[in-house]
Amino acid sequence: MRTGTTHLFIPGPTNVPEVVRQAMNVPMQDMRAPDFGDLTLGLFADLKRVLRTETGSVFIYPGSGTAAWEAAITNTLNPGDKVLMSRFGQFSTLWVEMAERLGLDVEVIDVAWGAGVPVSEYARRLGQDRMGEIKAVFVTHNETATGVTSDVAAVRRVMDECFHDALLFVDGVSSIGSIDFRMDDWGVDLAVTGSQKGLMLPAGLGILGVSEKAMAAAKTATMRRAYFEFADMQAMNASGYFPYTPPTQLFHGLRRSLDRIFDEGLDAVIARHHRLAEGVRRGVAAWGMDLVAEHPTLYSDTVSAIRVPEGVDARDVLRIGYERYNTSFGSGLARLAGKVFRIGHLGDLNEGMVLTALSLAELSLAEAGAAVEFGSGVGAAQTWFAEATPSEARLQIAAE
C-alpha cells in the first residue's frame, strides 16, 4: 500500500488541478442540443487567445497531439511534396517518421540532441530553393526529449528574408500555454498541441491552430484524409457542433483549465513557468550536473533533461524514485536512455512542488550512486525562489 501523494514530475500527462477534475464529473449531455455551442464556441475562441491568433482557426480532435500532427499534414499537403524538417530529439524524430510514412519527400537535417532547430541551415536550403519546391517547413518548438526550446520567430524571419512561400508547421505540444507562443506574429500556419501538457487535462484532445493560408491550401491538398478533414470540421464547428461524438467531459475540463489560465493571466503563466524552471536549473547546477540542452538560450521552461554522472544509470534513478518515493520522473528517451532523467515542470505547478521534485531527485540520485550533497539542489532553488517570487504573487496571497 502506498500512503500520501503520488508525485508526477513528468512532462506530460501533467497534474490535473482538482477543480478541473471535478469540472469533468458531469452527466452525459446531448451533443446536438440547441445550446451545445455555448460551451464549444467559447472553447474555440479561448484557444485562439492561447495560441495568440486572431485570423487563424482552431480545430479540436478527439485524439492526442499525434493526431493533430497528422491532421496538419494530411489536410494541407500533397503526396510526394518536399518538406524541410530537422531532428534533434525523440519527438522531432517521430514527426519525421510520420511525414515519411504519409508519403512526403522529407529533407531532414540531423543536428545534435541538445541543439535546437538549425536556423542558418534552414536559411541556406530555403535560399537555394529557387523553384519553391519546399512546400512546408517544420519546427519542433519545444523538444520534450532534450528540454530544448527553439526560436520559431527566427525561422519565420529566414523564410521571409528569402521570400519563401512554404507553410510553417510548428509542434507546440509541450510549449503552448506554458512558453511564449505567437501564432500570428510568427506566421505559424499549423500550430499543434494536445490537452495533457500545458492545458492541464487528461490526454484525449489533439488541438490544431490553422492559419488562413493553411485553410486555403487545404482546399486543393490531395493527401488522403477522412476523419481529420478540415472542411467537415469547419462546417459543423461553425455552429459549435462536431462531425462525430465529441468528448464532452474533456470539453468541460478544458473550459475550467482555460478559465484558470486567463484568471492567472497568460503572461503570468508564462512568467511562472520561467521562474519555476529556473529553480530546477539552479538545483541541477548545484548538484554539479549538466542539462542536455547545449546552451542557456535553448533551455526549456517546461522540461529539464538532466545528464546523470558517469557510472550512474539514470534508469536506476527512475526506478528508485518510483518504487521508494512514489515519484515519477521522465525517462531518457531513445539514445538518452540510461544517461538522462527528466523533470517535467509545466502546468499546474508551484514552488513547493519543484522543491519536492528536487529533494526526491536528490534521494533517488544518491541511492543510485551519484555523489550528491543532500539539500544542495533544494537550497539553490530556495535561494532563487526567495529572490524571484514577484511581489504581486505575495500580495495576492496576502489578499486571499
Positive or negative, the CA dihedral 65, 69, 72, 75 is negative
The stretch near ligand PLP (CB under 6 A) out of 139-147, 222-230, 257-265, 314-322 is 139-147
CB of 116 or CB of 240, closer to ligand PLP: 116
CB of 204 or CB of 246, closer to ligand PLP: 204
CB of 203 or CB of 353, closer to ligand PLP: 203
CB of 10 or CB of 368, closer to ligand PLP: 10
CB of 304 or CB of 382, closer to ligand PLP: 304
As a whole number of angstroms, the distance between CA 382 and CA 352 comes to 9
Choice from 14, 40, 64, 86 touching ligand PLP (CB under 6 A): 64
Number of residues engaging ligand PLP in binding (CB under 6 A): 13
Choice from 65, 177, 246, 283 touching ligand PLP (CB under 6 A): 65
Distance of closest approach, residue 13 Cβ to ligand PLP, in angstroms: 9
Distance of closest approach, residue 359 Cβ to ligand PLP, in angstroms: 26
CB of 53 or CB of 64, closer to ligand PLP: 64
CB of 194 or CB of 240, closer to ligand PLP: 194
Residue 327 interacts with ligand PLP (CB under 6 A): yes or no: no
CB of 53 or CB of 178, closer to ligand PLP: 178
Interaction residues for ligand PLP, span 9-28 (CB under 6 A): 12
Give a three-class secondary structure readout of the chain. Answer: CCCCCCEEECCCCCCCCHHHHHHCCCCCCCCCCCCHHHHHHHHHHHHHHHHCCCCCEEEEEECCHHHHHHHHHHHHCCCCCEEEEEECCHHHHHHHHHHHHCCCEEEEEECCECECCCHHHHHHHHHHCCCCCEEEEEEECEECCCCEECCHHHHHHHHHHCCCCCEEEEECCCCCCCCCCCCCCCCCCEEEEECCCCCCCCCCEEEEEECHHHHHHHHHCCCCCCCCCHHHHHHHHCCCCCCCCCCHHHHHHHHHHHHHHHHHCHHHHHHHHHHHHHHHHHHHHHHCCCECCCCHHHECCCEEEEECCCCCCHHHHHHHHHHHHCEEEEECCHHHCCCEEEEECCCCCCHHHHHHHHHHHHHHHHHCCCCCCCCHHHHHHHHHHHHHCCHHHHHHHHHC
As a whole number of angstroms, the distance between CA 153 and CA 75 comes to 24
The stretch near ligand PLP (CB under 6 A) out of 1-9, 96-104, 137-145, 375-383 is 137-145
Positive or negative, the CA dihedral 384, 388, 393, 395 is positive
Distance of closest approach, residue 32 Cβ to ligand PLP, in angstroms: 28
Interaction residues for ligand PLP, span 71-110 (CB under 6 A): 91
CB of 192 or CB of 215, closer to ligand PLP: 192
Residue 140 interacts with ligand PLP (CB under 6 A): yes or no: yes
Choice from 46, 70, 81, 171 touching ligand PLP (CB under 6 A): 171
Residue 66 interacts with ligand PLP (CB under 6 A): yes or no: yes
Choice from 20, 115, 123, 173 touching ligand PLP (CB under 6 A): 173
83 close to 99: Cβ distance less than 8 angstroms: yes
Residue 302 interacts with ligand PLP (CB under 6 A): yes or no: no
Choice from 203, 353, 363, 366 touching ligand PLP (CB under 6 A): 203
Distance of closest approach, residue 219 Cβ to ligand PLP, in angstroms: 27
Residues that bind ligand PLP (CB under 6 A): 12, 64-66, 91, 140, 142, 144, 171, 173-174, 194, 203
